[in-house]
Copies of this chain bind each other. A is one copy, B any other.
């Protein structure tokens, strides 16, 4: 079988991780990535032997002056790819669609910063793989939405979810980002609900989710405190059992001294994960509580990495690979996810 020819537009937090993982898939070939300007990111990209395509002649020149060779321009990349994973900053995805992907008749995946209507489906592999089958444009939802979909969908299947109320405690900026705060404050999102609730419904169509959100001074992970009204009574052990059996969800434990998002990240480094990533949603064993049909749990979301595996599965679905469970398994194995 021919390998799927994949390009990555935007070599930032998400793009560089997608590129790394595409290279690990036996059924995919990384044709190249786009390059916008010279930086340590592109220098390392070159060291890894990943072909770079300049977004314009200024970019090509700047890269060249700094000793980095480009294989051509964006158009050359588009010509050689079956599908582009667009990892541009928020709102540029839509622009790129009109300007590049539609005219060049290349399939494209967008990230959660874009509005849902940029694509034919919003996607979380273990929830709605089939919706992306053979589609031309698919949107992988945001890190937070992905995190809620994974655990809520698993609970819904067994106990039925009547309603969800969640508080999202968001990291203020990514680890490499020195420009943004807050440095010493709590910053509420002053709209109700926050956008996360409606976004879950682009994947889990009938789930009632109300979310409030705030940002804090940390760069490592987001945290979700969830309250779920179940259709049927459950026990803590029932819920724990579900999470243990759910792919891309990891149960962590205070008993093993995982007491914080910092220790989850340390665990990821100890596990030898690429870039120290933790793509699984981490649920605390001791943070699960049940009162009759009311369930409480706390989960941590690694904003840099949880959607990477989703992008890989979306590629397969859009290229016609029908077995979602198999795709998830293939992706997981290459990333060391159980």
Residue positions of A touching B, CB distance < 8 A: 16, 38-41, 43-44, 47, 66, 165, 167, 169, 172-173, 175-188, 190-193, 210, 212, 214, 216-221, 223, 225, 227, 252, 254-263, 265-267, 269-272, 274-276, 284, 286-289, 291, 294, 296, 298, 300
Contacts and interface: CB of A to CB of B under 8 A. Distances in A.
Contacts of A172: 181, 183
B218 A259 contact: no
Copies in the complex: 4
Interface SS of chain A: mixed
Given A16-B270, A182-B260, A214-B225, A254 B169 contact: no
Contact of A178 (B255, B263, B300): B263
A169 B186 contact: yes
Nearest to A166: B167
Nearest to A13: B266
Nearest to A277: B269
A284 B266 CA distance: 28
A201 to B, nearest CB: 15
A178 B260 contact: yes
B183 A218 contact: yes
A181 B186 contact: no
Most buried by B among A172, A192, A267: A192
A165 B187 CA distance: 20
Contacts of A276: 269, 275-276
